[in-house]
Amino acid sequence: MICKRRSGALALVCALACLAPSFAWSAEKYVPKHGPAVVLFDGHDLDGLDVFIKGQGLNNDPDHVFQVEHGVLHVSGKTMGYVITKQPYQNYYLRAEFKWGEKTYAPRQGQARDSGILYNVQGEQKVWPRSVEFQINEACTGDLWMTDGAAVTGKDGKRVTGPDGSSLKIDRFNKGPVQNVTGFRDPVNELEKPHGEWNVVELINENGHVRHYVNGKLANEGTDAFPSSGKILFQSEGAEVYFRNMKLYPLK
């Protein structure tokens, strides 16, 4: 749109129209045809999810690591664990929002705030199960991590497989140098909003072709994901973080 000089209210409308693309923090225009939303978290309770806490097992959260507050999922980060869908999914568009809190905890106290969305989760419940990960980490959000035998072929054609009981990653596109300290921001290509603001993360998982978007920008992409389907979890990994608007749209 070309904005011409106007006066009064019309000028304001025109100016906002010109600025609109800069606020389009969504990859929805790239999403294949899909069905209506499956709400993973309704903002009221965790009835649609299971909770796993390291050392406590399934649905036993004595320290209240995961709490619902004012329609938002508050993750304290104090203990390693996750909330996980009760059923597996295949071929979908996933959209969620997150923002960082203030606290970090051992063994990651003072380090870059860390969380993530693990998808195509299969196998036993543990920290961490076989899965592909949409990394959420200061200066690294959008990285691909493969854990416990999971694998993805990156854009460069290299196949990356996470060893049994461990993980390997594919860095997000145009990633700058990283320092593992709280509050660090990528000096080259930071995709996150300033600390305390909400970020939009989006995943397209289509027949093993996975795409990670951060605030509307393509951050990473891979093919032939293994596994290509499974449950979805949101991590507690040593940092306080908040999630909201967690929705999945099955692809047609």
- The reported pLDDT for the residue numbered 17 is 41
- Residue 9, domain member (yes or no): no
Sheet with 57-58: strands ordered across: 57-58, 49-53, 81-85, 231-236, 114-122, 130-137, 144-147, 167-170
In a domain, 176, yes or no: yes
Burial label for 170, CB within 10 Å (0-12, 13-18, 19+), is buried
Alpha carbon distance 121, 195 (integer Å): 29
Closest CA to 154 of 143, 139, 140: 143
- Within-domain flag for 15: no
Q: Is residue 13 part of a domain?
A: no
Which range of residues forms the domain containing residue 135?
25-250
- In our burial notation (b when 16+ CB lie closer than 10 A, e otherwise), range 203-230 reads bbbbebbbbbbbbbbbbbbbbebbbbbb
Residue 123 counted as domain residue: yes
68: domain CATH number is 2.60.120.560
Domain count, the chain: 1
Whether residue 4 lies inside any domain: the answer is no
One digit per residue, pLDDT tens: the chain, 252 residues?
A: 434 344 444 444 344 344 333 334 678 888 999 999 999 999 999 999 999 999 999 999 999 999 999 999 999 999 999 999 999 999 999 999 999 999 999 999 999 999 999 999 999 999 999 999 999 999 999 999 999 999 999 999 999 999 999 999 999 999 999 999 999 999 999 999 999 999 999 999 999 999 999 999 999 999 999 999 999 999 999 999 999 999 999 999
Within a domain: 1: no
Asked whether residue 11 is assigned to any structural domain, the reply reads: no
Amino acid at site 97: E
pTM for this entry: 0.89
